[in-house]
């Protein structure tokens, strides 16, 4: 009977220790996720600001350059200038889309550090079995 009572605190102590370790690990991972969410939010806001500034500035430049060219060639080659501008804008659009896709491809995967830590935890648990 003494053996059963002496084992119970040991088993309960082990279970408490295991539970504490598990909760500590979950806590660490949740902190990491929250930090990565903050970083992703800031990166998204910065990207939006840069894109907005570029689009606004680009549109103003395009409008005024186009108006100037059409005004200069109003009598002699109005349609040729308008056609050339349309082709130029189409080529520029294609170049911007290609560059933006490359930019997106270079961005880090969201939550990469969290996924890596969880993978290491799983590998550690598997190696102990």
Per-residue pLDDT tens for 9-64?
688 788 778 878 888 888 888 888 888 889 889 999 999 999 999 989 989 988 89
The reply to whether 3 falls in a domain is no
Distance CA 126, CA 129 (A): 5
Distance CA 37, CA 29 (A): 12
* This prediction's pTM: 0.48
The reply to whether 91 falls in a domain is yes
The reply to whether 41 falls in a domain is yes
The reply to whether 86 falls in a domain is yes
Burial 73-94 (b: 16+ CB within 10 A, else e): eeeeeeeebeeeeeeeeeeeee
The reply to whether 56 falls in a domain is yes
Binned at pLDDT 50, 70 and 90, residue 122 comes out as confident
The reply to whether 19 falls in a domain is no
The reply to whether 42 falls in a domain is yes
The reply to whether 8 falls in a domain is no
Domain that holds residue 120: 34-128
Q: How many domains does the chain fold into? A: 1
């Amino acid at each position: 009977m003494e053996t059963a009572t002496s084992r119970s605190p040991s088993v309960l102590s082990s279970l408490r220790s295991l539970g504490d370790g598990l909760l500590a690990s979950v806590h660490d991972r949740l902190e990491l996720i929250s930090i990565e969410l903050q970083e992703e939010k800031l990166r998204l806001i910065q990207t939006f600001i840069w894109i907005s500034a570029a689009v606004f500035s680009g549109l103003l430049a395009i409008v005024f350059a186009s108006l100037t060219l059409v005004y200069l060639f109003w009598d002699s080659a109005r349609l040729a200038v308008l056609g050339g501008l349309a082709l130029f804008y189409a080529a520029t659009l294609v170049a911007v889309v290609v560059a933006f896709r490359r930019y997106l491809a270079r961005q880090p995967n969201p939550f990469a550090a969290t996924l890596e830590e969880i993978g290491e935890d799983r590998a550690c648990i598997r190696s102990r079995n």
